[in-house]
Structure 1
């Protein structure tokens, strides 16, 4: 959530920053809500001061033996009015907060202007040693016509038909060696992030409550992108002590960012405990409501897929250096796998809702003759922490909001696509990257 104090003190800067994201901020609505809030607050403070003054006056009158009937009547009327004002303040504050929950984060000053992915800026690219390129510098790994991952995968255990029978479109089933390769990728990624980059491995719930999604920014704006389970009729359930508690809508996670970052909700950590580095391998569930029919064929855009997520929770002074570090942590996976990729800085109009700055890693897919996103690494600054009430306690002073960062390290299904297409052989077999062979029992090739 945006900083309300910044909105009140420097509204012009906020409006201009949001315009770089192609978001129009309704200044008139904000001014009206602020005017209502201030009016209630001023009346509340005035009444509180009057209550104290009348109470003091009553004491003085009684000490002199004088009549204090009128003052006592006034004093008895004040609490009811204060209660009404408290209710009014909660209403206007709730309306303001509900609205601000739908406003995205402000872009960092280093984020380029632009409206779409066409305006993103390539920062660098990495190619395996010896790989040939075309005139544009794009990889040319094969002397033969490349097959896509669907044709390659179906010959070694990729099964869309059974998945369609079980669940519908945009699901997959893996059998035999390709299933083992998928598992090997996830294990390799987890081992790399935990043993070399200092992340703590976590196992998290795959189902979360609405408060967690509000905190990390998926709700209310992206409810249609989630799969959720409604507790019918608002029925109550029991907590661990057997007490009845109200039922809540529960949601399947779309990324482990939700649980790893959401774990910081309503916490205050010591500054000496920072940074906090967390990683998890989880399935992710997305309705793809806004995909518009893109990538219907294959594994690129699925309702269910696996991902190894990286999250760091850090001191605000270090978050932009940590962002660069995390991009490097994702790059390390692709370099060990030996597949070509590039790093792209997203423009203001193409960034995610909670991000202040985002880098995408795009892997080369020979069959598509194109770069495709395989990881997104973002600094959310205090945007999520303010919604989550996640703070740290400095050596001196009051608790302050943390900065949160997240990134894919990597999307397992898309990494599988990259391996299949980049390691394919002319006979339809697929060579296993050296980094994965220890996880494959030493297997060097998946035969057609």
Structure 2
């Protein structure tokens, strides 16, 4: 959510920032509604003052026995009361209109975000590891002999439709091991607090984390009104909604492993083979609630947490900063980590780490009390995948595949697999 006062102070800068995202200028329209709202509030306050003054004079007129003046003032009080109610109702409507307009405008990009229109304009900032030289043509994850029998798309389609998968046996075990290992790493090494959070949330939680009202079609809503979360960013971030925290409580660093649900609206025909793009998937999420002065450094810290996971798994990756035209709606700056998938001969996104500044905090009224005193200030919120479990599974399977159809598994997972080190060509852990 944007601060209308900041737009009043510098409308040209607001429109210039929107232009960097490829969006049309909005300040004139916003300020016209804001001016109408403020004029109605002023008129209501003036009418209220007139009503209060007339109310005091009613008693005096009655005490003097001036019946005509008494009746005139009574009528004036009634008229002013009705006028106040009407003006307040109109002001409320304009306020709601302004709030809705502001809620549909994307966050403004940070000054250092590169300008651009799509992913071709993203800038690489880091690269780790070298893609393995295979003595054979590497396969995509679902084609590997030891994986294929344990990745059942047909049965999933029979029960749920397209873009679902049933993982079985060794592959299901590795998937579970990845999530467990990620959580253990975040809690024991990265200082995050684990949260077992709901996957059903109310409108307010989706709105507060900028998923509504503009992008409702990208998520699933139940018949009784709850929303299935697209990521636990929603639940973890919204956990501080309406709070006024002590500065000493910051930063708050949380992690959660949950099911996630996305309708994938607008992605028809993309990544239909395999399990890269699913309606239901699992993710280990990282969320930080910070002091505004600490959010820049916090994003770098979160990025390293995610990158270090891939390094521990031995998966080559590259990190890019998204350009203005490729960033998500709520982000001021986003880094994408892209894992190398030899089956596709390409780097594909496995984590996004974003800072939203106070954009979400304003929507959900999350603030903190400065230690030195003064008015409460809005916190800053950040979120990042640490990591997308299914996509991480794909990366592990494809990078570890052998010519005979078996898969060598990363050493860090061996303790989570009962000491097993590979998936055999027969699909069994060995």
TM-score of the two chains, using structure 1 as the length reference = 0.90
User: 2:79 matched to which residue of 1?
Assistant: 77
Give the root-mean-square deviation of aligned CA atoms: 1.7
Aligned: 1:33 with 2:33: yes
User: 1:11 matched to which residue of 2?
Assistant: 11
User: 1:417 matched to which residue of 2?
Assistant: 394
In structure 2, C-alpha distance between the alignment counterparts of 1:60 and 1:398, rounded to whole Å? 43
Aligned: 1:21 with 2:21: yes
User: 2:428 matched to which residue of 1?
Assistant: none
User: 2:90 matched to which residue of 1?
Assistant: 88
Which segment drifts farther, 47-56 or 153-162? 47-56
Aligned: 1:325 with 2:325: no
* Secondary structure in 2 matching 1:308: strand
Deviation at 1:15? 0.8
In structure 1, C-alpha distance between the alignment counterparts of 2:375 and 2:249, rounded to whole Å? 17
User: 2:106 matched to which residue of 1?
Assistant: 104
Which segment drifts farther, 161-170 or 149-158? 149-158
In structure 1, C-alpha distance between the alignment counterparts of 2:246 and 2:201, rounded to whole Å? 26
User: 1:280 matched to which residue of 2?
Assistant: 256
User: 2:50 matched to which residue of 1?
Assistant: 50
Deviation at 1:80? 1.9
Match runs of 1:298-377 below 5 Å: 298-377=274-353
Is residue 132–residue 399 contact of structure 2 (8 Å, CA) maintained in 1?
A: no
Deviation at 1:64? 7.5
User: 2:240 matched to which residue of 1?
Assistant: 264
Which segment drifts farther, 49-58 or 160-169? 49-58
Residue 386 of structure 1: which of 362, 383, 390 is its match? 362
User: 1:221 matched to which residue of 2?
Assistant: 214
Aligned pairs, how many?
Answer: 421
* Secondary structure in 1 matching 2:90: helix
User: 1:206 matched to which residue of 2?
Assistant: 199
Residue 118 of structure 2: which of 102, 110, 116 is its match? 116
User: 1:174 matched to which residue of 2?
Assistant: 167
Deviation at 1:49? 3.2
In structure 1, C-alpha distance between the alignment counterparts of 2:248 and 2:349, rounded to whole Å? 36
Is residue 156–residue 447 contact of structure 1 (8 Å, CA) maintained in 2?
A: no
TM-score of the two chains, using structure 2 as the length reference = 0.94
Is residue 156–residue 177 contact of structure 1 (8 Å, CA) maintained in 2?
A: no
Residue 141 of structure 1: which of 133, 138, 141 is its match? 133
* Secondary structure in 2 matching 1:349: coil
| Structure 1 unmatched runs, 5+ | 132-138, 232-248
In structure 1, C-alpha distance between the alignment counterparts of 2:79 and 2:21, rounded to whole Å? 50
| Structure 2 unmatched runs, 5+ | 426-430
In structure 2, C-alpha distance between the alignment counterparts of 1:218 and 1:430, rounded to whole Å? 38
In structure 1, C-alpha distance between the alignment counterparts of 2:220 and 2:74, rounded to whole Å? 58
